[in-house]
Amino acid sequence: MLLEVEKGVVLAAAPQRDHPVSRGTLCIKGWNGHQLIHHPERLTQPLLRINDCLKPVSWNKALSYAAQRITELQQAHGRDCVGVVGSLKTVNEASYLLGKLARTVLHTPHLDAPLRFDHAPSLRVLREQSGFANAAAALADIEKAGAILVIGADAKAQNARAGSLLLQAAKRGVPVIQVDPREQEHSRFFRLHLRPRPGTDLALINALSHILLAEGWQAEGLAGLAKLRDDGLERFTPAYAESVSGIAQDDLRSAAGLIAKASSLLILFGTGITQQANGTANVRALWNLALLTGSIGREGGGLLPLLTANNSQGAVDTGLMSEWGPGQRDLQETAVRRAIEAAWGASLPAEKGLTLQEMIDHAGGRIRALYVVGENLAWSAPESAKTSAALDKLDFLLVQDLFLTETAARADLVLPAASFAEQEGSYTSLERRLQRVRRAIAPLRGCKPDLEIIQLLAGALAAPWPLRKAEEVFLEMQQLMPCYGGISWQTIGHPGGVLWPAHTDDEECTLYRKLLGDRQGAFTEVSTGLPFGDEPDADYPFTLITGRPLFHRRTGTLVTRSFTLDKEDPVATIEINTDDARALKLRSGWPVIVKSRRGEVRRTVVVTRAVPPGTLYLPIHHKDGLSQSLMPSMLEPESAIPQMKLCAAKLEMV
């Protein structure tokens, strides 16, 4: 994306024709997102809470206060009383230094990124199976796929580029099988649309694998088939899947038939299958399905999780997830720890850190101070009332952001950060594409780039960190990140940057071919599945599911500051099936109160056949009617992702 600048003001955004991914296109957010840069609500001074009121202070005072409070609390409660929450939007270099700051200067193991709330299961399974916590496919694979399974995702709304390629594939006649309870705008163009009961994806995916095996439609030369069958797959018969998911056996067989006939299977998936009780089990089942079709490591095949932010992958790569350090390396491995400690010249905390939701749950207890970079936790975490109360229990909440978000408004100290247009660095896209972002304008007066703030804070905490530029930090982090090896700062500045690993092969989509060679990887366990803990009953008869509209992004901090995007989404709605609406005597446009076992919000009814009977669909993160206040925060046991995709709910007239 290019920005047009005049006299220090960003006037416009324009697409780049020679960019290998965008090819001259931008989505609605790309065209209009730049309006936030000069929004009058931008924070331009650090704000310190004095007498329960946030007052402007100088940067020197803000940083020394932060250092003093953190030091006091660490002396009183131990060094691990501090938690750090990274951002999915800051440049890689800032993310890397934030991880280093947390693990060496603050010496706390409690560091996590909001990716925990989206795709923790995807990354966990992919890393377990392949060694790499990232997509096992690239966007270009959508153009080469023999068949495509889209599950738990609205590609059009969540990633316009993926959605565009998917639409083109469907129009070319590539069989696209969509699995989603809700009908989406592009559903009509797909070959099959399976609409399972919410939360029953595991049975459906495993039944597809079951049919492939039973019919002998699996790829040739696969090892471990007997174990896969005996390990639980035999239970997932089409009849069982029908009883659980409501999908007719014939439809399951049709889907399996399309997959079997195709040269490769590409699986696109989103938070619809990860934010569930069976989040990790679902991704494991997808891995097995892709493997059965011989699609892992093959062009036009593999698994492509639709990560939600511009630098989600970069946050994983640079070490912001609790379990992995820079280069996605496992911090529990002694050799890895030693290598990182030697490079950083400091010891790392020995114990395993708390994950994001756990940090919130322990706020005011084990966690006394929280440093949150660019994330509106008060909105993104489930059970909003509980989250807000938890944030209030902290002795010190430090927030770094562009705007006074609902989280920043609760902070003791707020540091004003610079926007993407005001800083240098690199981002890594969901397909491992490492690209530079260049400074288009100087940081607004009073704001500082994240990279500089983190280094200044380290300095205030008495760490001897010189103030370095993004390029210098990039060179340092490369030493600890084999995945970014062999990539030069100049190369990532070209349109499209580099798809890592560039040092092993410069051809796209080859990561898994190189990695797995002929052996194709191994099957993983078949989970029997866990019951969902918030089932509908007589009091809460509906299953409520959430999703993200086209013009929205994460918690809306940025898009609501673009007047064009903000006006696209004026009314907080809830979708209900036509038959249910008739039974409840509801009409489109009427206000209702949506209640779950955790809270309630007021929304406007949209009556539609797009949602199945018994289901409500709630667009997330609207400023009027906070969706997350309804959703449960109980953790999925393996990946510690809150089960916030669905819950039991009821509607009441206002």
Partner 1 sequence: MQAGTRLVVNKQVFLDNLSLCMQKMTVIGPQKLRGGEVTFGPLRSLRRLTLDYVNDLDPLKRFFLPQREVLFAYDLSGKKPRLLQPEQEKPRLLFGIRSCDVQGLAHMDGFFQGACYDELYWARRRNTLIISMACNRPNESCFCICCNGGPWLESGFDLQLTDLGEEFLIDIGSRAGRVFLEERPMPAVTASRRHETRRRELMEACDAQMVPTAYLAKACIQITNNRVREELWEEMGSECFSCGGCTHVCPCCTCFDVVDCPEGAKSGTRVRCWDSCQYSGFTREASGHNPRARAKERVKRRFYHKLSYAYIQQDGHPGCVGCGRCITVCEAFGLLDISAVVKRLRRDGQ
Taking the least distance from each CB to partner 1, the nearer of 246 and 549 is 549
Q: Establish if 8 lies at the interface with partner 1 (CB under 8 A).
A: no
Q: Establish if 472 lies at the interface with partner 1 (CB under 8 A).
A: no
- What is the smallest separation between the CB atom of 270 and partner 1, expressed in angstroms? 17
Q: Establish if 491 lies at the interface with partner 1 (CB under 8 A).
A: no
Q: Which amino acid belongs to residue 608?
A: T
Q: Is 345 helix (H, G, I), strand (E, B) or coil?
A: coil
Instruction: List the alpha helices (DSSP H) in 133-276.
Output: 141-144, 155-158, 160-172, 201-214, 225-230, 238-245, 249-261, 271-274
Query: Which region, judged by CB under 8 A, interacts with partner 1, from 14-22, 215-223, 455-463, 572-580?
Result: 14-22
Q: Establish if 24 lies at the interface with partner 1 (CB under 8 A).
A: yes
Query: Which region, judged by CB under 8 A, interacts with partner 1, from 78-86, 361-369, 378-386, 490-498?
Result: 490-498
Over the Cα atoms of the chain, what is R_g? 24
Q: How far is CA 110 from CA 338, 358, 573, in A?
A: 19, 9, 37
- What is the smallest separation between the CB atom of 163 and partner 1, expressed in angstroms? 7
Helix (H) or strand (E) holding 499: strand 498-499
Residues paired with 649 in a beta bridge? 542, 596
Q: In the window 531-550, what residues touch partner 1 (CB under 8 A)?
A: 550
Q: Find the binder of partner 1 among 45, 122, 164, 577 (CB under 8 A).
A: 164
Binding string, 97-126, against partner 1, x = CB under 8 A?
------------------------------
* Backbone φ and ψ of 247, nearest 5°: -85, 130
Q: How many residues bind partner 1 (CB under 8 A)?
A: 50
Q: In the window 579-638, what residues touch partner 1 (CB under 8 A)?
A: 589
Q: Establish if 14 lies at the interface with partner 1 (CB under 8 A).
A: yes
Q: Which residue has the tokens 């249910």?
A: 580
Tokens of 611: 């949602």
CA 302, CA 287: separation in Å to the nearest integer? 8
Q: Find the binder of partner 1 among 514, 563, 583, 652 (CB under 8 A).
A: 563
Q: Establish if 158 lies at the interface with partner 1 (CB under 8 A).
A: no
Taking the least distance from each CB to partner 1, the nearer of 25 and 263 is 25
- What is the smallest separation between the CB atom of 535 and partner 1, expressed in angstroms? 34
Q: Establish if 32 lies at the interface with partner 1 (CB under 8 A).
A: yes
CA 129, CA 285: separation in Å to the nearest integer? 12
Taking the least distance from each CB to partner 1, the nearer of 6 and 539 is 6
Taking the least distance from each CB to partner 1, the nearer of 570 and 637 is 570
- What is the smallest separation between the CB atom of 593 and partner 1, expressed in angstroms? 20
**Is beta strand 646-653 parallel, antiparallel or unpaired with respect to 542-547?**
antiparallel
Residues paired with 531 in a beta bridge? none
Query: Which region, judged by CB under 8 A, interacts with partner 1, from 5-13, 47-55, 207-215, 591-599?
Result: 5-13
Q: Establish if 35 lies at the interface with partner 1 (CB under 8 A).
A: yes
Q: Find the binder of partner 1 among 471, 568, 578, 590 (CB under 8 A).
A: 568
Q: Are 614 and 581 in contact (CB under 8 A)?
A: no
Q: Establish if 224 lies at the interface with partner 1 (CB under 8 A).
A: no
Q: Establish if 439 lies at the interface with partner 1 (CB under 8 A).
A: no
CA 557, CA 555: separation in Å to the nearest integer? 6
Q: Find the binder of partner 1 among 27, 102, 372, 526 (CB under 8 A).
A: 27
CB atoms within 10 A of CB 1: 16
CA 333, CA 52: separation in Å to the nearest integer? 45
Q: Establish if 40 lies at the interface with partner 1 (CB under 8 A).
A: yes
What order do you get walking across the sheet with 425-428 strand by strand?
Answer: 425-428, 433-437, 498-499
Taking the least distance from each CB to partner 1, the nearer of 12 and 248 is 12
Binding string, 46-75, against partner 1, x = CB under 8 A?
------------------------------
- What is the smallest separation between the CB atom of 555 and partner 1, expressed in angstroms? 20
Q: Find the binder of partner 1 among 1, 16, 107, 191 (CB under 8 A).
A: 16
CA 399, CA 369: separation in Å to the nearest integer? 11
* Backbone φ and ψ of 475, nearest 5°: -65, -40
CA 423, CA 541: separation in Å to the nearest integer? 49
Q: Which amino acid belongs to residue 119?
A: H
Q: Establish if 445 lies at the interface with partner 1 (CB under 8 A).
A: no
Query: Which region, judged by CB under 8 A, interacts with partner 1, from 158-166, 338-346, 525-533, 634-642?
Result: 158-166
Q: Establish if 488 lies at the interface with partner 1 (CB under 8 A).
A: no
Q: Find the binder of partner 1 among 43, 341, 570, 596 (CB under 8 A).
A: 570
Q: Cβ contacts of residue 96 below 8 Å, gap of 6+? A: 318, 319, 326, 473, 476, 477
Q: Which amino acid belongs to residue 475?
A: L
Q: Establish if 13 lies at the interface with partner 1 (CB under 8 A).
A: yes
CA 449, CA 422: separation in Å to the nearest integer? 7
Q: Are 455 and 467 in contact (CB under 8 A)?
A: yes
CA 377, CA 382: separation in Å to the nearest integer? 9
Taking the least distance from each CB to partner 1, the nearer of 167 and 316 is 167
Which residues would be at the binding site for partner 1 (CB under 8 A)? 2, 4, 6, 9-19, 23-28, 30-32, 35, 39-40, 156, 160-161, 163-164, 167-168, 171, 185-186, 188-189, 493-495, 550-551, 563-564, 567-568, 570-571, 589
